[in-house]
Amino acid sequence: MIQTASMVLRNGTRLLSAAIGDGASRDARILMAHMMGVETDRLTVELSRMITPTQVSQFEHMIKRRAMSEPISHITGKRAFWKHDFKVSADVLDPRPETETLVELALTGAAPETILDLGTGSGCILLSLLGEFPDAQGVGTDLSDAALQVAHQNAVRLNLSNRVTFQTANWFDGVAGRFNLIVSNPPYITAKEMESLSTDVRDFEPHLALTPGGDGLAAYRSIASELAGFMAPDGRALFEIGYLQGKDVVDIFSAAGFGAVSLHKDLGGQDRVVAVSGPKNR
């Protein structure tokens, strides 16, 4: 039977709604648009189109995956961040809107020649910054080779691969040189918070990228202990933090000897980024 996209969408929405409740209608629309190869905001005008039985089963398969709580981004293979769509997979943290706060802050400083991103994941922060700073060179590190493959594919897709290198590393291990801008969105969820995460996140996103365990601050301690050796004297470092970690993270960098440490909020008004300046950038 040939059906219109509209009929198929209605059935899919009903199925999904029974499984996940709120958000089912929006998610079903995103999946239908993805299956039809149209932008989500163009979907309404495309809904009267007939779709083939093969397309119907593709869509139903996506709805079933979402009904099992799999994130939309893993089903479509992409997630929008800053000015681009990034390829994502189960090997990388999904880029989050609050991380754009870090990108925005980076743009308020002098244009860097060199940028280091610790725990680059999908590469979303580093590649967005290289897009904004056309003369900069970047290095992205990650413990996960699988994540770095995704980052590399994103660099190629965005035509930035000639200005970036990726290396497997535990924070600064094996990194050479000093950088004008150092950024990181390290794992910061506490062991206790992990217990109350939604299934979409806990069962589908890499735990290595989400949490260092314990009080969630281990990454900041490691980074703070080595940061001075990698930051240019006029450099700046920006770290995303959990909204309750502002004071602790400011204290960690202050105790490591950095004189200029500041706390910045995201658009939701929550503490989100700690900025650290080098000795010649006060």
The CA R_g of the chain, rounded to the nearest whole Å, is 21
User: Of the two residues 18 and 244, which places its CB atom closer to ligand GLN in the complex?
Assistant: 244
C-beta of 9: minimal distance to ligand GLN in Å? 31
Q: Which of residues 9, 93, 148, 158 is near ligand GLN by CB under 6 A?
A: 93
- State the Cα angle at 84 between 80 and 88, rounded to 5°: 50
Write the CB contacts of 21 (distance below 8 Å, at least 6 apart in sequence).
Answer: none
- The CA distance from 28 to 25, in Å, is 5
What is the three-class DSSP state of 199? Answer: helix
Question: Which of 209, 223, 249, 275 touches ligand GLN (CB under 6 A)?
Answer: 209
Q: By CB under 6 A, is residue 154 in contact with ligand GLN?
A: no
Q: Binding to ligand GLN (CB under 6 A): which residues in 101-130?
A: 119-122, 124-125
In single-letter form, the type of residue at position 223 comes to: I
Helical axes 53-67 vs 5-20, angle rounded to 10°: 20
Binding segment for ligand GLN (CB under 6 A), chosen from 51-59, 181-189, 256-264, 266-274, is 181-189
Question: Is 63 or 209 the residue whose CB approaches ligand GLN more closely?
Answer: 209
Among 71, 112, 187, 278, binds ligand GLN (CB under 6 A): 187
d(Cα 199, Cα 193) in Å, to the nearest integer?
A: 13
Please give the residue ranges that form the binding site for ligand GLN (CB under 6 A). Answer: 93, 95, 99, 119-122, 124-125, 185-187, 209
